[in-house]
Each structure stands twice: as C-alpha cells, then as structure tokens.
Amino acid sequence: MPYRHYWITSTRIVTPSAIISGAVEVKGGKIISVVEGDTWQRKARSKHIVDYGQAVVMPGLIDVHAHLDDPGRTEWEGFPSGTRAAAAGGITTLIDMPLNSVPSTISEETLKLKTSAAKGRIFVDVGFWGGLVPENAFNASSLERLLDAGVLGLKSFMCPSGINDFPMTNSSHIKEGLIVLAKYRRPLLVHAEMQQITNDWENIDDAGNPQSYATYLKSRPASWEEAAIRELLTVTKDTRAGSSAEGAHLHIVHLADARSSLELIKEAKRSGDRVTVETCPHYLAFSAEEIPDGDTRFKCAPPIRDTENKEKLWAALLDGDIDMLSSDHSPSVPELKLFNEGNFLRAWGGISSLQFVLPVTWSYGRSRGISLNQLVSWWSEKPARLSGQDLKGAIAIGNHADFVVWEPEVEFELDDNHPVYLKHRSISAYMGSKLAGKVLATFVRGNLVFEEGNHAPFACGVTILAK
Ligand SMILES: NC(=O)NC(NC(N)=O)C(=O)[O-]
Ligand SMILES: [Zn+2]
Ligand SMILES: [Zn+2]
C-alpha cells in the first residue's frame, strides 16, 4: 500500500463503543479519525479509499504467547515463517516466549540476540517476554538489566519446561521476580503446573498404553494446575503484604482446568489481587474424548481435558472470569511428534496453531453466542493491556492502524490445498478441519502486510521494547 494517508470503509467496523458502518482514516501509520455513517465521504474526497464492503474490520489480534524458536531452533519455526503465518491469520502483534530458542531469553545479552534475529525478518510487530529462571532470580541487577533492555515482563515454569537452559522456578524464585516486577509495573507470566505424587501417577505404567490419550491425560491431572495456582496466589499475596506498592501482576498462562483452579483464580480476583488468566483455542475446540489414539498433534501441557471441562472454560470466558486468549503456538519438527509410534508420553508437547486462532475461536464460539466485541476483548484489548501496548488493541483515534479485515460467514476446509505459512503444516491439530472466518487483509501500523493470499514484499514489522 503506497499510501500514507487513506481511508478504510466497511459496514462492520468494531470500535470499543459499537459496531459501526463508516470509515477509519489512517495517516502515518496511525488512526486519525473514526467516522460513523457516510459523512466521511466529503472529507475523503481526494484521498485513497479502500472499501471492504460488509467485511468485518477489527483491531489486529495480539497474541501474548507464541514460541517462534528463533534464533537457534529455526528448523522448528523462526521469525519469518511464524510472523507470515501470524499476518495471514490477522495477528498484528505477537509476544515471543523466552524459551525454545537457543539460547533462552534470560539476560540482556540473550535479548539482544533475539532483537538482532528479528531485525528485517518480521512481518508483524514482535515483543519479548524474558525468562525468570533459578540462574537470574536471586540476582536483582541481572533481572533489572533484562527489564531495562525492554522485555515486557517475565515468564517462569513451576514444572520442567522440557528445555535444558530453562529450568523450573520454586516459590522463592518467584517471590524475587515479583518484587522486581512490581517496581517496573510489568507482569509475571507462569506456566502453572506442579507435579503431585498421586496414585494415578504411580499407576501410570500399569494403566498406560502410551498411544492412548487417556494415559497422557492421567499423567498431568488438574490437581497439578490447582497446586501450582494455589502456591502462586499465596506468594503473590505475601509479596504484596511485604511492600507498600500495589504489588506485582500475576498472569496465569494457558489455563486448562476450569474447575478448582479456576475457582481459586476467581476467589483471588474477588479479594482484589492483581491476577489475570488466559486460555487457548485448543482447550476450547477439542476435548479429551475425541482425541484419536496415537495422534500426538494434540499433545500439550497442561493437557486438553474432558468435554464438560471445555464447556466450563467457554462459560468462564463468556462470564469474564477468563480474561483473554493466546495461541501458545509451540511447534517443533514433525520428527519430534513421533507420528510413527504415536507415543503420547514421549512426543514433544505443543500445539501448532498460530495462523488459525481467529477462525478457530470464531468457529467454535459462534454456536455459543460469542460476539465480535468479545473477540476483540479476548484477542486485542486485554492482551494489549497485559503487554503494556497503550497504542494497540482498539480502533480508536491515536492508536496504531493495526487491523484484521475478515469475513466471519465464509467457511473453508483446512485441507492439503489451503495455504499454510507455518514451517510445518503436518503437525497442526487443526489440519483437516472445516472452519468459518476468512481473513481478507491485515494491516500493521498502516502497512498492508497480507491480502488475499499475498504478503507484503518486505518485512515491515518492528520489535517492541518496553521503556
Ligand atoms: N517448551 C514449550 O514450548 N512448552 C510449551 N508446551 C506446551 N504448552 O505443551 C508450553 O508453553 O508449556
Ligand atoms: Zn507453558
Ligand atoms: Zn507456551
């Protein structure tokens, strides 16, 4: 799009207050006016106009949880393929997780490796979470340097991450992290599963056909999530009690358990704790009962649970108890999925989904009555707030012109002919499904980065560093 100053028009523009028929004026990468009705036509007379008819114009999606594995494991994904897929799926910003790249992003130096790897190779805007690990947790100045260098917050694990240079943290590490983060007003994101020694776990070998999904599900019960969340909420409260400040913001990533774990989070919110929670499309789309034996595309942690749990997740999302959605796009090479043996206990865990999260959320959500405004809240507004992106996440004057233009009514088959920009299409659990919601175009800060199957010829995404 060679225009610096132009108008986008449609009969369905999703603004914070209403869905309007009208136009959005873009200049220098920002939204400079939003006009309802057709009075804009006079103002726009000498300007370029892009008419999207009845397609929906929404803020671009902000994915706060994606593993792009660059640098160091680019055979798994990488910035170019990952951000092209994001653009094709209407995601205009993504925040990259600190693990699965080599090295992990746990210091100022390793963040620099990330930003250099991203330079000139990203099609959407990319920010970074830093890692809170035992190595840096007790070293406040090292954490401060990492935060000063621009990570948007920190992320840690309460169980083994599967990555050698990203060990798990215990509550003392987490406490140290929270104290530093409170000063910076940035969040701590936690993978909340804590291994419990249970009878189920001890019996896993007897119970255990490793090709059966039920075996895997039993190996990571909901009690692991519950135990981790209980401990995290306690540490967060303790940290707040010890300081005069407001206290750090705790964000629980990829909640799968909609029962006891969710109740703990609701209770903490009611008591005024700064806690938010995300879940992911795969927990809303799939259920344990339907996962075929040996189909390790569906393996992730925490695991996809039963149908009733899935319905409870939807209810929590609709009630506002779950704040937002993220992809947790965590790909690998197909070999690590062990498709030949179909062994759920040994295969790499992680769902590949980045390009499909909008149609997946919509396809499974529309029968449950979700609205376009709710989609925007879960995928743009709340993620913008979590990641500190004041100029993103809403179609409002002064904000970045980040848009997804899409047709909710158009259905398509995610078959072998469908263009997929991710590095490995075969590992995605969504291949073979029929979805609704076709992305027509994606704009990042006014730049048309994707339209009708074509990407912009140059990678105009920028890295986002906190100041
Ligand atoms: N090393 C990983 O990418 N882990 C990820 N894997 C999943 N979710 O199965 C995650 O986010 O925990
Ligand atoms: Zn995780
Ligand atoms: Zn993850």
Give residue-wise pLDDT tens across range 207-246. 689 999 999 999 999 999 999 999 999 999 988 876 656 7
Q: How many CA atoms lie within 13 A of 391 on its CB side?
A: 14
On the 0-12 / 13-18 / 19+ scale of CB atoms within 10 A, 37 is exposed
Residue owning the nearest CA to atom 11 of ligand 1? 328
pLDDT of residue 240: 81
Q: Cβ < 6 Å from ligand 1: which residues?
A: 67, 99-100, 161-163, 191, 254, 300-301, 328, 330, 349-350
**CA of 331, nearest ligand number:** 1
- C-alpha span between 108 and 209 (Å, rounded): 44
pLDDT of residue 3: 87
CA of 231 to the centre of ligand 1 (A): 20
Q: What is the DSSP letter of 377?
A: I
Which two structure tokens, joined as six digits, stand for 419? 């263009």
pLDDT of residue 2: 74
pLDDT of residue 201: 52
Give residue-wise pLDDT tens across range 452-466. 999 999 999 999 999
Determine the average pLDDT of the residues in 95-109. Answer: 98
CA of 348 to the centre of ligand 2 (A): 13
Contact 63, 384 (CB under 8 A): no
Percent of the chain with pLDDT over 70: 97
- C-alpha span between 467 and 459 (Å, rounded): 24
pLDDT of residue 46: 87
Q: CB under 8 Å to 205, separation ≥6 — which residues?
A: none
Nearest to 110 by CA among 129, 123, 124, 138: 129
CA of 301 to the centre of ligand 2 (A): 6
Task: Return the ligand 1 atom nearest residue 349 CA.
Answer: 9
Task: Return the ligand 1 atom nearest residue 191 CA.
Answer: 12
Kindly list the structural domains of the chain, giving each domain's residue range(s) and its CATH number in brackets, ordered by start.
Answer: 5-51 (no CATH), 61-389+409-435 (3.20.20.140)
Coil/strand/helix, residue 34:
strand
Nearest to 253 by CA among 220, 228, 216, 286: 228
**CA of 330, nearest ligand number:** 1
Of residues 323 and 206, more confidence is placed in 323
Which two structure tokens, joined as six digits, stand for 392? 């993103």
Q: Which residue type, as a one-letter code, is found at position 330?
A: S
| pLDDT confidence tier of residue 28, bands split at 50, 70 and 90 | very high
Which two structure tokens, joined as six digits, stand for 318? 């609709």
Nearest to 143 by CA among 103, 114, 186, 113: 186
Which two structure tokens, joined as six digits, stand for 120? 């000139």
**CA of 350, nearest ligand number:** 1
CA of 330 to the centre of ligand 1 (A): 6
Give residue-wise pLDDT tens across range 334-369. 999 999 999 999 999 999 999 999 999 999 999 999
Bridge-based pairing state of the strands 61-66 and 91-96: parallel
On the 0-12 / 13-18 / 19+ scale of CB atoms within 10 A, 233 is buried
CA of 300 to the centre of ligand 2 (A): 9
Which two structure tokens, joined as six digits, stand for 110? 């390793």
Nearest to 334 by CA among 360, 353, 352: 352
| pLDDT confidence tier of residue 247, bands split at 50, 70 and 90 | confident
> Which residues are close to ligand 2, an ion, with C-beta < 5 A?
191
ipTM for the complex? 0.98
Question: 91 - beta bridge partners?
Answer: 61
pLDDT of residue 414: 97
Nearest to 59 by CA among 457, 442, 359: 442
Q: CB under 8 Å to 340, separation ≥6 — which residues?
A: none
**Mean pLDDT, the chain, integer:** 96
Tell how many helices (H) and how many strands (E) occur in the chain: 16, 19
Which two structure tokens, joined as six digits, stand for 437? 């919601």
Task: Return the ligand 1 atom nearest residue 300 CA.
Answer: 9
Which two structure tokens, joined as six digits, stand for 432? 């073979």
Does the pLDDT at position 203 exceed 60?
no
Task: Return the ligand 1 atom nearest residue 328 CA.
Answer: 11
CA of 278 to the centre of ligand 3 (A): 11
Nearest to 372 by CA among 337, 407, 422, 423: 407
Give residue-wise pLDDT tens across range 150-186. 999 999 999 999 999 999 999 999 999 999 999 999 9
Contact 280, 273 (CB under 8 A): no
Does the pLDDT at position 200 exceed 90?
no
Q: Of 300, 333, 336, which is best to mutate to test ligand 1, by the most ligand atoms within 8 angstroms of its C-beta? A: 300
Residue owning the nearest CA to atom 12 of ligand 1? 301
Task: Return the ligand 1 atom nearest residue 253 CA.
Answer: 11
**CA of 216, nearest ligand number:** 1
pLDDT of residue 368: 98
Residue owning the nearest CA to atom 3 of ligand 1? 330
CA of 301 to the centre of ligand 1 (A): 6
Which two structure tokens, joined as six digits, stand for 66? 């994606």
Residue owning the nearest CA to atom 5 of ligand 1? 350
Which two structure tokens, joined as six digits, stand for 101? 């790249």
Angle (CA) 17 18 19, round 5°: 150
- Please identify which residue in the block is written with the tokens 């989609």: 375
**CA of 101, nearest ligand number:** 1
CA of 140 to the centre of ligand 1 (A): 26
Buried-state track 308-321, b at ≥16 Cβ within 10 A, e below 16: ebbebbbebbeeeb
Q: Of 105, 330, 348, 352, which is best to mutate to test ligand 1, by the most ligand atoms within 8 angstroms of its C-beta? A: 330
**CA of 64, nearest ligand number:** 3
Coil/strand/helix, residue 218:
helix
- Give the C-alpha distances (Å, rounded to integers) separating 119 from 110, 330, 412, 417: 15, 22, 34, 31
HEC profile of 227-287: HHHHHHHHHHHHHHHCCCCCCCCEEECCCCCCCHHHHHHHHHHHCCCCEEEEECHHHHHCC
Determine the average pLDDT of the residues in 415-436. Answer: 97
pLDDT of residue 244: 56
Does the pLDDT at position 202 exceed 90?
no
Q: Of 191, 213, 296, which is best to mutate to test ligand 1, by the most ligand atoms within 8 angstroms of its C-beta? A: 191
Does the pLDDT at position 199 exceed 60?
no
**CA of 253, nearest ligand number:** 2
CA of 388 to the centre of ligand 2 (A): 21
Contact 109, 155 (CB under 8 A): no
CA of 283 to the centre of ligand 3 (A): 13
Which residue intervals of 94-170 are DSSP H helices? 108-118, 134-137, 140-148
CA of 160 to the centre of ligand 1 (A): 10
pLDDT of residue 245: 62
Q: What is the DSSP letter of 329?
A: B
